[in-house]
Amino acid sequence: MIKDTTLWTALITPMKEDGSIDFKTLEHLIRTQEKAGNGILLIGSTGEGLALTENEKRDVVEYSSSLNPTVPLMVGVGGMNTDIQESWIQHCNSLQIDAFLLVTPLYAKPGPKGQNAWFQRLLDASDKPCMIYNIPSRTGIDLPTDVVRSLEEHPNFWSIKEASGKLSVYQQYRRTAPGIPLFSGDDALLAFFKPAGCAGLVSVAANVWPEATALYVEKCLSGETKSLFPLWNRAVGALFSASNPIPVKRLLHHKGEIQTPELRLPLVKEELSDLAELKAIDKEIETWYKNNT
């Protein structure tokens, strides 16, 4: 199923006013993505995975798995303690999930040998296909092409999520491992990555526009790219006008899709008080979707 999934929504984790997880709303969000046919990434950075306790992460994944959605579930694996991440993967192996997202190690900034050992151990622990995630703006280090080359033949190395924001990095991965599917980690850049062979998108925007983003991906992958960038670039700009997922949660709350826009410290909803830009782009995206369906 995962090989046919071109759009993965990096799902938010909805919370109540007291900061606890809102499981009723989580089910609503999952069913909304299911209706749109989008794969779901749980507890990634958009899902505030690093701000959740180990028990909360287990609860989110176990609850989501128990809903038996008809779309695939991917689970985030991120941190810098290898034993903890390995244990997390082993726990999730027993659940009804379909894939893992393995992030480059946080903070430590290891070299190629350290990264290679890190990913080898996590890939070995997994019973599921794994997407390796390059996000230097969050981890402080790039995924080296040498590591991609050394891991290319691992049976659990399924794909790469590239989110450096640089087409040149994307092209380096494509040349290094032409058999490994590459996904854009930036909604707006899909239009540029597609001509270089992009397989799909891991999206923040699909939280608020699940069906419109699915159509956007479909059009990009079919070659309709030139006219799409200006609108979706503005949309992404609005969704990242404060640290992700603050704007996404504020807009989802405005649209009545979640009960509160609460986040976990160090993120706070007060970082974004003016929703005018978000409301305006929301109307633009809705109009675009109606005009194209």
Known catalytic membership, residue 161: yes
Which letter, b or e, does each residue of 161-198 get, where b requires 16 or more Cβ atoms within 10 Å of its Cβ?
bbbbeeeebbebbbebbeebbbbbbbbbbbbbbbeeeb
Known catalytic membership, residue 194: no
Find where tokens 């909360």 sit: 56
Choosing from 161, 170, 194, 216, the catalytic residue is 161
Q: Using CA atoms, how far apart are residues 190 and 277, in angstroms rounded to an integer?
A: 22
156, 130 contact by CB (below 8 A): yes
Closest by CA position to 74, among listed 98, 107, 109, 104: 98
How many Cβ atoms from other residues are within 10 Å of residue 261's Cβ? 22
Choosing from 133, 170, 173, 216, the catalytic residue is 133
What residues are paired with 133 via a beta bridge?
A: 103, 161
Active site residues: 133, 161
